[in-house]
Amino acid sequence: MNIEILIPLLAAAVQSGTPILYATLGEIFTERSGILNLGVEGTMIIGALSGFLVAKATGNPYIAFVAAGLAGTCAASIHGLVCLVFQGNQVVSGLALTILGVGVANYLGTPYVGLTAPGFDPLPIPLLSELPIVGAIFFSQDLLVYLTYIIPVLIWIFLYNTRFGLSLRAAGEYPAAATAAGLKVVGYRWLGVLGGGFFMGLGGAYLSLAYTHLWTNNLTAGRGWIAVALVIFAFWRPGRAVFGAYLFGGIMALQLRLQASGTQIPSSLLLMLPYALTVAVLVLSSWWRGKTDEPGALGTNILPAD
């Protein structure tokens, strides 16, 4: 493949990987606190719609972006309520959140299908975007992509270099130890759920505000599920999540290009590619089991002391 095709492909990989990256980071943040949130897909699409509606109403994409994050937090709070207050089953609650979110977004979004809203346009960074190859791939993107160059680092610093991060990880690893150390485990799990929901909402907003500038139903198209799988691929580490998200972004971009090039392969098979890769990645990751940072108490509820 020659370089004229490769560079735009890689740039597209970064772009289509970005929403998945936001969602994956959110899910890592949540799972590190011990809560499994399978509602990523629903949370993302609620974020996407909220961002779109706010952008349309205010004309300000920045406000819209933050609003999408907050909408994600609200959606995730349903999961928090079920799991942390009522000790409900985390798997079921997450699945319900996805079904609810997708349903609500499609219902409320139907009148807006095909309409556009102001969003984020590519904003090449002076000097850096002039760099050969790297400039075109990484530094000729939009602002929301640049944000994801910093956020994983911030999350990593939070998790590994602050006492709040240590406590959050302990809440997900072995809550009994955290309780014995005098920590409010449930509080840290709320932090994990709500903070994670915020990033998932941002991931959704990327789709409606930057990736496209318009609303269509089912905008997320399974990206939330890919994020859930990527968390495992990333061994629950923010750094590896970046790598994984771009890998999937690459497959999605490639798949689009192949369709456009008029190949003989049926398009439904090409559309399937990212999901086939998801299965492959999960199988591969399970081989490395034991070396991952999977939180020890992931998916378990904290029972109130009797």
Partner 1 sequence: MSDAPVIRLEKISKSFGEVRANHDISLDIHEGRILALLGENGAGKSTLMSLLAGQSQPDSGTIYFHGTPVSFSSTEKAIEAGIGMVYQHFKLVEAMTVAENIFLGRSDRVWLSRKGLNRSVAEIANQYSMQVDADTQVADLSMGEKQQVEILKLLFRQSNILIFDEPTAVLTPHEANNLFETMRQMKADGKAIVFISHKLEEVMSIADDIAILKRGKIVGLMEAARVSSTRELAEMMVGREVLLEVDHQPMETRQQVLKVSGLNKDGLKDISFEIRQGEIVGIVGVAGNGQKPLVESVCGLQKVDTGVITLLGRDSRDFFARRSWDKALSYIPEDRQGLATCQGLDMLDNFLLTTRQGFQSGPWLPKHEAREKLDYLIKEFDIRPPNAALLAWQLSGGNLQKMVLSREFYRKPRLIVAEQPTQGLDIAAAEDVWNVLLTAREQAGILLITGDLSEALELSDRIGVMYDGQLVSLFSRTDEEMIEAIPQMMAGLA
Binding site for partner 1 (CB under 8 A): 160-164, 166-167, 169-170, 173-174, 176-183, 293, 296, 305-306
> What single string gives the DSSP state of each residue in 96-158?
HHHHHHHHHHHHHHGGGTT-B-------PPTTGGGSTTHHHHHSSS-HHHHHHHHHHHHHHHH
Residue position matching structure tokens 């609650």: 93
Cβ of residue 294: shortest distance to partner 1, in angstroms? 9
Nearer to partner 1, 114 or 304 (CB): 304
Nearer to partner 1, 129 or 179 (CB): 179
Cβ of residue 163: shortest distance to partner 1, in angstroms? 6
Residues forming beta bridges with residue 98, ordered by sequence position: none
Cβ of residue 37: shortest distance to partner 1, in angstroms? 20
Q: What is the dihedral of CA 40, 44, 47, 53, to 10 degrees?
A: -150
Query: Among 30, 21, 24, 28, which Cα is nearest to 77's?
Result: 30
Cβ of residue 199: shortest distance to partner 1, in angstroms? 21
What angle do helix axes 40-58 and 223-233 make, rounded to 10 degrees?
Answer: 130
**What is the rounded CA–CA span in Å between residue 215 and residue 219?**
7
Nearer to partner 1, 33 or 167 (CB): 167
Specify the DSSP element, H or E, that contains 54. helix 40-58
Nearer to partner 1, 79 or 169 (CB): 169
Query: Would you state the structure tokens that stand for residue 251, as one six-digit string?
Result: 């497959």
Cβ of residue 183: shortest distance to partner 1, in angstroms? 5
Nearer to partner 1, 126 or 290 (CB): 290
Nearer to partner 1, 180 or 283 (CB): 180
**What is the rounded CA–CA span in Å between residue 278 and residue 286?**
12
Residues forming beta bridges with residue 214, ordered by sequence position: 116
Cβ of residue 94: shortest distance to partner 1, in angstroms? 23
Query: Among 286, 287, 246, 251, which Cα is nearest to 272's?
Result: 251
Cβ of residue 223: shortest distance to partner 1, in angstroms? 29
Nearer to partner 1, 30 or 43 (CB): 30
Q: What angle do CA 247, 248, 251 make, to 5 degrees?
A: 95
